A and B are shown apart, each in its own frame.
Chain A
Amino acid sequence: QQQVKQSPQSLIVQKGGISIINCAYENTAFDYFPWYQQFPGKGPALLIAIRPDVSEKKEGRFTISFNKSAKQFSLHIMDSQPGDSATYFCAASRYSSASKIIFGSGTRLSIRP
């Protein structure tokens, strides 16, 4: 019940296309859903996050879509660029003073020029 399931494992998208990564969770107590981006040789870094009181959050070319009833959320990268090539992790956590984050298994995204 603590797991966050992420798909696909890897994704290749042409430059200018839309990249879509999907995640699902079981624990309805989760109330914070961040996405982390990791470049080779670096640690993950927060990209964008959403709370379940909204169904969508957009920051530039990055959008999170959230479906509370289905317990699913997804990351959409519009106009994908080669610089977006990285590993993306979805995650979930609970509002807490010391809440740990449960990470998905990661998606390796490659944007072809």
Chain B
Amino acid sequence: DAGVIQSPRHEVTEMGQEVTLRCKPISGHNSLFWYRQTMMRGLELLIYFNNNVPIDDSGMPEDRFSAKMPNASFSTLKIQPSEPRDSAVYFCASSFGGGQYNEQFFGPGTRLTVL
């Protein structure tokens, strides 16, 4: 298995532009998580899905952030408009939520820089 796949790996954009981050979870996993990591705030959970349904989006910082999971093999995190304070590494993780203690498998991350 290729693991969790994220794209792009690096993104540099200007303030005000729309940014879309993509994630392909591990096949067979039914839970997907989006995290943001910064030096100041550490690893923050933004939103997570179970069976393609958003379960908890309380970590989404504001309305500029939105996430979708149209099917079991794809999710997007969109920032519109982007701001310099959104600069961070964004991780996607997936797990098999079959009622077990669920190990989360993280992707390599997308490093976002907003100028």
Contact = CB atoms under 8 A, between A and B. Distances in A.
B62 interface: no
Interface size class of A (residues with CB under 8 A): 20 to 34
A54 interface: no
B50 A45 contact: no
Interface stretch (B12-20, B69-77, B78-86, B104-112): B104-112
A98 B31 contact: yes
A44 B42 contact: no
Contacts of B31: 98
A89 B106 CA distance: 13
B101 A105 contact: no
Interface of B: 4, 31, 33, 42-43, 45, 48, 50, 55-56, 91, 93, 97-99, 101-109
6 closest A-B pairs by beta carbon, nearest first, are A43-B106, A98-B50, A98-B97, A32-B101, A105-B42, A97-B97
Interface of A: 32, 34, 41-46, 49, 51, 89, 93, 95-101, 103-106
